[in-house]
Amino acid sequence: MIVTDAPGTTPQVLTTPRKKRFYEILYVQVLAAIAIGILLGHLDAKLAIDMKPFGDGFIKLIKMLIGPIVFCTVVGGIAGMQDIRKVGRIGCKALLYFELVSTFALFIGMAIGNWVRPGAGFNVNPATLDTAAVSDYVGKAKHMTTTDFFMNIIPTTVADAFTKGDVLQVLLVALLFGFALAAMGERARPVTALLETVSQSLFGVIGFIMRFAPIGAFGAMAFTVGKYGVVSLAPLLKLIGTFYLTSFLFVFLVLGAIARIAGFRISRFLAYIKEEILLVLGTSSSDTALPTLMGKLEKLGCSRPLVGLIVPTGYTFNTDGTAIYMTMAALFVAQATNTELSVLQQMAVFGVAMLTSKGASGVQGASFIALVGTLAVVPTIPVAGMALILGIDRFMSEARALVNMIGNGVATVVMARWEGELDADKLDVLR
């Protein structure tokens, strides 16, 4: 407590903010909730499965605000730049960066999959597999074509983009509105001011919802462990371990090298976004961390217009974790079913995965559908083999979503530095 009593003024008492106790810190609460969820799933599977609505409800609360937040931040960012050419330049650089890093992730997944061979020794006969659970994914994947992907970017109506919650559709609408407001100049200032106010109120709502993050993480983790069981991982531990190790190496070696070039340390960055990391780990979805990640990147010194443009775009086009999963899982199915793949066939899987991985977000299930669609280009790989990894896909989705989220955060800081849209003084905390 500090008392000020300057001459001619009324004495004032200034209180310093109370330091949070350790159990009041969000990431501590989320970590404890995850541990409790795992314990419940192990001790009482039936009760743990019934906890699923807690996880689903929290994810829905976050996702209902993602569309409006992306729209407000992207429109406000583009209108704030007031330079269409600059927006186009940043967008093209970002897409080039996304493609290069994601392609490298695909290559790493394929290289380690061929080296470790996690599926070798399974000797599975595809005819003996129960494909009923995979049939729904196969049906959805058959309709996934490159043309359909790009046509799906265009919503039927403006409102349809928000009601479906498709981030890519919302992004398209936001880009069009942003360009229109930027062209209007000063006349658009009242609209941009309104969007700024709405955006701040939406982040305020997110702050309130985040208080329930421990409950959501508990429900999602309890369901996962209760439904599939830790014991069910044993036969496929080699694949899971290889995937997690590859993801770890990608983050610390590849993204770490990129971060060092940009002037910061990946370890410091991970510590800075620890709440988001634990949230994604608990919910198996990178979407739950999108709003708070954007807020933290702004506090880190990245300009708001750039954050509003790069992060939502990256959530669709910069899916590094999904890229690693696609090639590694495809090789696993081939190896487990004793299907020999030629170099050309592997290159075909690689090429198609470059496209299909772009349509798979951090939401559990989307990457599995994209993988089924990728395997369709090599008929010799039995799609029935996907039944082998369906049960563990939920566990692997956590690593996918984590790498996707971390990759987008690093990409935003890198782009902000390259474009001079970064407050260097604020970045000192990561050096």
DSSP 254: I
What pLDDT was estimated at residue 362? 43
What pLDDT was estimated at residue 89? 81
What pLDDT was estimated at residue 363? 46
Phi then psi for residue 401, to 5 deg, are: -65, -40
The answer to whether 240 and 174 have CB atoms below 8 angstroms apart is no
Count of CB atoms situated within 10 Å of the CB of 425:
8
Q: Please tell me whether residue 302 adopts helix, strand or coil conformation.
A: strand
The Cα–Cα gap between 199 and 188 comes to: 16
DSSP 161: H
Predicted TM-score of the model (pTM) = 0.77
What would you report as the CA-atom Rg of the chain, rounded to the nearest whole angstrom? 23
Structure tokens at 252: 């610390």
Residue from 290, 332, 339 nearest 310 by CA = 290
What pLDDT was estimated at residue 74? 78
Please give the tally of structural domains in the chain. Answer: 1
What pLDDT was estimated at residue 403? 92
Residue from 167, 110, 386, 137 nearest 286 by CA = 167
Q: Please tell me whether residue 380 adopts helix, strand or coil conformation.
A: coil
- Cα–Cα–Cα angle for 419, 422, 428, nearest 5°? 135
Burial class (CB in 10 A: 0-12, 13-18, 19+), 388: buried
The Cα–Cα gap between 429 and 175 comes to: 32
What pLDDT was estimated at residue 269? 92
Largest CA distance in the chain: 90
14 forms bridges with which residues in the sheet? 2
Q: Split the chain (431 residues) into runs of 10 and give each run's mean pLDDT.
A: 51 55 71 86 86 85 82 77 72 87 91 89 69 55 59 80 77 84 80 84 83 85 77 72 92 93 90 88 79 86 82 81 88 86 85 70 58 71 73 77 91 87 72 66
The Cα–Cα gap between 310 and 133 comes to: 36
User: Which range of residues forms the domain containing residue 193?
Assistant: 2-430
Indicate which CATH number applies to the domain containing 8: 1.10.3860.10
